[in-house]
Chains A and B, each alone.
Chain A
Amino acid sequence: MIFTRRETLAIGAGAAASAFLPMQVNAAADDVIAAFTGGAEVADGGVDLNAPEIAENGNTVPIEVGADGATAIMLIATGNPTPGVATFHFGKLAGAHVAATRIRLAGTQDVVAIAQMADGSFKRASANVKVTIGGCGG
């Protein structure tokens, strides 16, 4: 394959650009999830995860999780250096299986909630939260 000078330049710029891609799910997040589920299968749905589409402040992002009948819900910030955020445990007398907190996000990433149900099964929900420099509002 022969590249023109122009294409070569474009490729060079593209390679430089790849350094600024949004955070990817890292291996640490997979490890945290595996430790919580013991490697069991996780079904999509059945978990409410309420997060802003774009964080107003990446240092304190309001997140709410809930799953009827859950005994525990784990919250994971997949793009953070330390992805495990919190695990909420619900006892038998819990009136609602809902928890709200604020978390810090290192950048644009998926926030994942995994609920352990009373029967031992696992469910998950995920939301993409964008952390942006901001400005330029029309």
Chain B
Amino acid sequence: MISRRDFLQTTMAASALVGASGFGNWARLAAQQALTQDQLLDFDTFGNVTLIHITDLHAQLKPIYFREPEINLGVGAAAGKVPHITGADFRKLYGIADGSPSHYALTYNDFTALAQAYGRVGGLDRCATVINAIRAARPDALLLDGGDTWHGSYTCYHTQGQDVVDAMNLLKPDAMTFHWEFTLGSDRVRDIVGGLPFPALGQNIFDAEWDEPAEDFQPYQMFERGGALIAVIGQAFPYMPIANPGWMFPEYSFGIRDERMQEMVDEVRAAGADLVVCLSHNGFDVDRKMASRVSGIDVILSGHTHDALPEPVLVGETIVVASGSNGKFISRVDLDVRDGRMMGFRHKLIPIFSDVIAPDPQVAAAIDAGRAPFEDQLSEVIGRTESLLYRRGNFNGTWDDLICDALITQREADIAMSPGVRWGPSVLPGQDITREDIFNVTSMTYGKAYRTEMTGEFIHTIMEDVGDNLFNPDPYYQQGGDMVRVGGMGYRIDVSKPMGSRITDMTLLSTGAPIEPEKTYVVAGWASVNEGTEGPQIWDVVEDHVRNQGTIRLTPNTSVKVTGA
């Protein structure tokens, strides 16, 4: 909750900028008053090597709104540490003024008011402008894509990732690693990877049958930049076949494999690498642990958990850089590499304010050309929202509440389950909900909405299982998503307890009765990892619901009680 003081300060800040809040040109003017492209790009070029990190784009080629999480609990060694600090505490930690552009970009408070002042974020054409500006200062900068790139939009789904591949290639990345890409199916992934003009990396991508490194992906790539030899080692998402449907890419096995990571570091050092960079899709807490177990990595460019940190986190002699998601940020890391060592660094997390940064005309034209055949479908207005729709957070977001409402009403279920993914842009109160908006929070290759019967005991098992993926005190046992979102059922969770005893007080909200272990409930959900799941596509379910409702108004969800944090 925002304090009264927070609220007063931000309204003052916002009113100083705009005079009145509003959409369209007002927001644009406000953003331009507060910020300039030069300010966002301002950077004293340092050392002899520059890394540019973009990750977890989730196919968001156009500018969007994206609200950062309110609840992001850390457990075990990560308790109380970044990235598990949010809101006012986050701003205090980094000295961010209330109502400032960084407040809007990095924290959740007063999101609607600040969004009206500062406008949309991201857009790959804006990212291109930033990347080009960095390359103007350092022509041989390395652009590294942390993955979750070819997934997450209407056009990406309907082109099997081609629209994003084409747009990204215009940015000329130097290397990439992977996660959701594999949900396109292994044939499609190999098809795309075979044509990429840059290496596809993953030291932990193995052949499942032989338990040997997979031939289609190389573990690392060496680059000569600024007189230094740089090794970039790829680390794909370790829990692909567990968190996503393994039957879609049965030839591959993953895992953290930090022993092999150490072998690769030793191998590239022996080959003369002056700088070792790990392009990772581990998630932040896993990267922090890996940095403490594998020696000799200078920089970990961390993806997967969508955290955006204004400063790198130092673990021993390794810096861990987290660059956000959905095209909202790009990290620039300048390094002084001499005598086979990283001697110093300078870093900036650059927020992509879409109204401030001019789009790159070539990339903008390519994106629009890719969208043109789908424009009628994308822009069709399905309904309108009076509530802020967002997803990020450990337990529930309003988008998930809406999706669960849709599942319960459209599929006539007692209880709904929606996956705790971290992607999906926000929609502001007063905005139309278009088909594109619905796809942005539901698009996937296994989106069929199942309807099934489950006993109370099995529902509890699922809740405990997912809870442990998030709150196991050892990050190597976490998968990096958020808690499964539940509609129609309330519960209490003590995040400090071990698996099997975190979830209590499961209650059927429609009657207020406790969930009984032996009793059977009708459960509707989507994104099952099981092969052969049947049902309508989730985006059709949500579209029907939004169309029926016309205007979406959501009441605050208080059905999850959290303790132990």
Contact = CB atoms under 8 A, between A and B. Distances in A.
Interface of A: 9-10, 12-14, 16-22, 50, 52-57, 62, 100, 108, 128, 130, 132-138
Nearest to B257: A52
A137 B528 contact: no
A136 to B, nearest CB: 4
Contact of A16 (B462, B476, B517): B517
Given A9-B514, A132-B242, A132-B468, A138 B500 contact: no
Contacts of B256: 53
Nearest to A11: B504
Nearest to B239: A54
Nearest to B461: A20
A13 B504 contact: yes
B501 A135 contact: no
Contacts of A53: 255-256, 474, 476-477
Contacts of A136: 243, 419-421, 466, 469, 479, 481-482, 484, 527
| Interface secondary structure of B, over-half rule | loop
Contacts of B254: 56
Contacts of A9: 505, 514
B178 interface: no
Given A138-B306, A138-B479, A17 B469 contact: no
A57 B500 contact: no
Contacts of A14: 501, 504
Given A54-B477, A56-B253, A137 B501 contact: no
Interface in B290-348: 304-306
A56 B500 contact: no
Contacts of A138: 243, 283, 304-306, 420-423, 479-482
A80 B381 CA distance: 55
A118 B256 CA distance: 34
A99 to B, nearest CB: 13
B457 A19 contact: yes
B474 to A, nearest CB: 8
Nearest to A134: B242
Contacts of B484: 135-136
Given A20-B457, A22-B499, A56-B242, A135 B419 contact: yes
Interface in B225-253: 237, 239-244, 246, 253
Contacts of A137: 179, 237, 239-240, 242-244, 419, 421, 479-481
